């Protein structure tokens, strides 16, 4: 039986319409399918492969760590140099109140741990999240999803969760002395790359500080340079009490991380002891890859090229069907008229060797989140394909709908 049949038969499915591209290998900014066809990667496996695929420094670090040891103990008991090196490097790049990191396996686990930490620190019951945010798919993380369609089938979820409007200062009134934490993104990812209004984040910070509420920034998707700074919050100058990272932090390996102050983090270690435990969190091979990925990003100064790359995308993506290009840095979204138009364009792009996608809560937007290593000629290639695909979609929709002409 061929792989495609086995995939459908034995692998759990997340949708009835999987893309089904059969990948042979990936290198640099390209994926290759089993027929040898080459695809420019405009989504990095949803914001993961930020330094491109198959980076030699990362592969070497993985092999070096494999030769030393793989798993030796659950997280937090033994001293393992791969974890220590990553924790030191990461905390050195962050404001001084984020000086302790809990290494985990995924973004959703990081969300769960942050909620537990906020409840433990504040001894308060309630959690506030923003509408149209996505923080993961586990029970607790799903509870922060404001979209009834995605969560109703899984109720009951976490109690005490309510929602405020992103970028709406008036909605901050909902935060009160019963609130343990507010979870917020600096750039709302699955809403279609919507950048936070700096005044909203400043007002949010002030209200949280005033009421003793912990402010949690989810930079699982935006972290590691994608908006042009290592962390998006640096551009606004608002520092959270808890920071969530994941995705690109692992440089292609599975990871999640919660950063907080040492004082707060210690509260997961007493009353109760073992407030959060994980077998594989901080896996040494993953930690070694993450540290190498961080080194690649910093040593090659990959952030320096991002403004010019952003500008090139924006200047080239001009078409009567494009309503706007939103986002920041190399997290951009191209707004089209409808989901049907977007879906047809994504398919046309794939046929022409370009991988793009839409967003969970903005299915009329095309996702642009390439590796930060994408070159200017590759951006020109991507935009030419995208514009061609949009024109073709426009023509085919017009011919299928005589009323539109
Ligand atoms: N938070 C944000 C902003 C995300 O984009 C995601 C994943 O897309 C998550 C959390 C959950 O991360 P994971 O899929 O690793 O559980």
CATH of the domain at 36: 3.90.1150.10
Q: Is the CB of 189 under 6 A from ligand 1?
A: yes
User: Where are the alpha helices (H) located in 12-123, listed in sequence order?
Assistant: 44-47, 56-68, 81-92, 107-122
The model's pLDDT over 74-114, given as tens digits with 9 standing for 90+, comes to: 999 999 999 999 999 999 999 999 999 999 999 999 999 99
CA 174 – CA 141 distance, rounded (Å): 20
Q: What does the DSSP assignment read for 27-49?
A: EBTEEEETT--EEEESSHHHHT-
- How big is the chain, counted in residues? 405
On average, the pLDDT of the chain sits at 97
98 contacts 259 by C-beta, under 8 angstroms: yes
To test the ligand 1 pocket, which listed residue (110, 136, 184) has its Cβ within 8 A of the most ligand atoms? 136
Quickly state the pLDDT bin for 279 (edges 50, 70, 90): very high
394 lines ligand 1 (CB under 6 A): no
* 271 and 181 both lie in a single domain: yes
- Does the beta carbon of 129 lie inside 6 Å of ligand 1? no
Residues 238, 330, single domain; the answer is no
Confidence grade of residue 400 (pLDDT, cut at 50, 70, 90): confident
Q: What is the pTM of this model?
A: 0.97
Best probe residue, ligand 1, of 50, 221, 280, 359 (max atoms within 8 Å of C-beta): 221
Q: Residue 405: inside a domain, yes or no?
A: no
Give domain status of residue 184, yes or no: yes
Give the CATH number, domain containing residue 284: 3.40.640.10
Q: Ligand 1: does its nearest atom lie under 6 Å from the Cβ of 222?
A: no
Q: Please tell me whether residues 224 and 101 are part of one structural domain.
A: yes
Give the mean model confidence (pLDDT) for residues 247-258: 98
Residue 405 has pLDDT above 60, yes or no: no
- Shared domain for 166 and 281, answered yes or no, is yes
Q: Quick one: 340 and 242 in the same domain?
A: no
Give 30-75 pLDDT, tens digit per residue. 999 999 999 999 999 999 999 999 999 999 999 999 999 999 999 9
How confident is the model over 171-216, as pLDDT tens digits? 999 999 999 999 999 999 999 999 999 999 999 999 999 999 999 9
Q: What pLDDT does 403 receive?
A: 56
Q: Domain range holding 120?
A: 56-299
12 and 62 inside one domain? no
> How many domains are contained in the chain?
2
Query: Taking the CB of residue 22, how many other CB atoms lie within 10 A of it?
Result: 12
Q: Is residue 138 part of a domain?
A: yes
Rounded to whole angstroms, how far apart are CA atoms 229 and 60?
Answer: 26
Is there a single domain that holds both residue 199 and residue 138?
Answer: yes
Domain match, 120 and 221 both: yes
370 lines ligand 1 (CB under 6 A): no
Q: Is 246 in the pocket of ligand 1 (CB under 6 A)?
A: yes
Residues 275 and 209 in one domain: yes
pLDDT at 20 over 50: yes
Asked if residue 127 and residue 22 are part of one domain, the reply reads: no
How does 380-402 read in b/e, with b if 16+ C-beta sit within 10 Å? Answer: ebbbebbbbbbebbbeebeeeee
User: Among residues 299, 318, 345, which one ends one of the domains?
Assistant: 299
In-domain check, residue 108: yes
């Amino acid at each position: 039986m061929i792989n495609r049949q086995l995939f459908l038969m034995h692998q759990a499915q997340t949708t009835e319409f999987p893309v089904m591209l059969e990948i042979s290998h990936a290198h640099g900014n390209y994926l290759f399918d089993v027929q040898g066809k080459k695809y420019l990667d405009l989504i990095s496996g949803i914001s993961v492969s930020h330094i491109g695929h198959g980076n030699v420094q990362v592969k070497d670090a993985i092999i070096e760590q494999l030769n030393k040891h793989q798993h030796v103990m659950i997280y937090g008991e033994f001293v393992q140099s791969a974890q220590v090196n990553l924790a030191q490097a990461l905390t050195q790049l962050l404001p001084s109140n984020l000086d302790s990191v809990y290494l985990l396996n995924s973004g959703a686990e990081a969300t769960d741990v942050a909620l537990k930490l906020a409840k433990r620190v504040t001894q308060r019951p309630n959690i506030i999240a923003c509408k149209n945010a996505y923080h993961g798919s586990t029970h607790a993380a799903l509870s922060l999803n404001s979209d009834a369609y995605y969560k109703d089938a899984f109720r009951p979820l976490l109690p005490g969760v309510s929602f405020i409007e992103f970028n709406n200062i008036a909605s901050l009134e909902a935060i009160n002395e019963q609130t343990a934490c507010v979870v917020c993104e600096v750039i709302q990812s699955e809403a279609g790359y919507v950048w936070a209004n700096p005044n909203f984040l400043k007002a949010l910070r002030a209200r949280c500080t005033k009421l003793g509420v912990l402010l949690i920034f989810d930079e699982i998707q935006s972290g590691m340079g994608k908006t042009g700074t290592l962390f998006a919050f640096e551009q606004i100058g608002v520092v959270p009490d808890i920071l969530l990272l994941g995705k690109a932090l692992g440089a292609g390996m599975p990871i999640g991380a919660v950063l907080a102050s040492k004082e707060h983090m210690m509260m997961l270690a007493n009353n109760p002891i073992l407030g959060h435990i994980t077998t594989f969190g901080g896996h040494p091979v993953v930690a070694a890859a993450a540290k190498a990925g961080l080194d690649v990003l910093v040593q090659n100064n990959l952030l320096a090229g991002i403004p010019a790359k952003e500008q090139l995308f924006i200047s080239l993506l001009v078409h009567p069907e494009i309503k706007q290009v939103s986002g920041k840095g190399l997290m951009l979204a191209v707004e089209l008229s409808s989901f049907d138009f977007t879906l047809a364009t994504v398919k046309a792009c794939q046929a022409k060797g370009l991988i793009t996608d839409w967003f969970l809560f903005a299915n009329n937007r095309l996702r642009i989140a390439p590796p930060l290593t994408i070159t200017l000629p590759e951006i020109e290639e991507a935009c030419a394909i995208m514009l061609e695909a949009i024109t073709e979609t426009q023509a085919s929709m017009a011919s299928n709908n005589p009323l539109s002409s």
